[in-house]
């Protein structure tokens, strides 16, 4: 995700600016195999629950990407359509 939390390509999502509660719950779910990921389970387990709150707080405090500041414009439009009207 990078130190800045802005992700590194389409397979690595942006964490910067996400909700602290969401990030903490995601780490817990990855470690407890309640959320499937071939990549995140091992790092979540290795970090250990004692560090999850600090990780969640760190990434939540980072500035998020501004809307429209990156990404494929067609995908951004499609994402906006799905968010506003659902999948059709």
pLDDT tens by residue, 29-66? 999 887 877 788 888 888 999 999 999 999 999 998 76
Burial of 50 (C-beta count, 10 Å sphere; 0-12/13-18/19+): exposed
Q: What's the pLDDT band for 80 if we cut at 50, 70, 90?
A: confident
Would 2 be classed as within a structural domain?
Answer: no
Would 31 be classed as within a structural domain?
Answer: yes
Would 50 be classed as within a structural domain?
Answer: yes
What span, in angstroms and rounded, lies between the C-alpha atoms of 83 and 76?
Answer: 10
Would 1 be classed as within a structural domain?
Answer: no
Would 53 be classed as within a structural domain?
Answer: yes
State how many domains the chain has. 1
Would 56 be classed as within a structural domain?
Answer: yes
**Helix or strand holding residue 81 (H, E):** helix 73-85
Would 73 be classed as within a structural domain?
Answer: yes
Q: How far is CA 63 from the centre of its chain?
A: 13
What span, in angstroms and rounded, lies between the C-alpha atoms of 65 and 47?
Answer: 26
Is pTM, for the whole model, over 0.95?
Answer: no
Range of the domain at 42: 20-85
Would 57 be classed as within a structural domain?
Answer: yes
């Amino acid at each position: 995700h990078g130190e800045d939390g802005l992700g590194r390509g389409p397979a690595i999502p942006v964490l910067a600016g996400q909700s602290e509660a969401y990030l903490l719950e995601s780490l817990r779910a990855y470690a407890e195999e309640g959320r499937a990921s071939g990549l995140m389970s091992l790092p979540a387990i290795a970090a250990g629950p004692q560090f999850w709150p600090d990780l969640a707080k760190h990434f939540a405090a980072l500035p998020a990407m501004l809307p429209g500041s990156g990404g494929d414009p067609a995908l951004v439009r499609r994402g906006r359509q799905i968010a506003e009207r659902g999948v059709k």
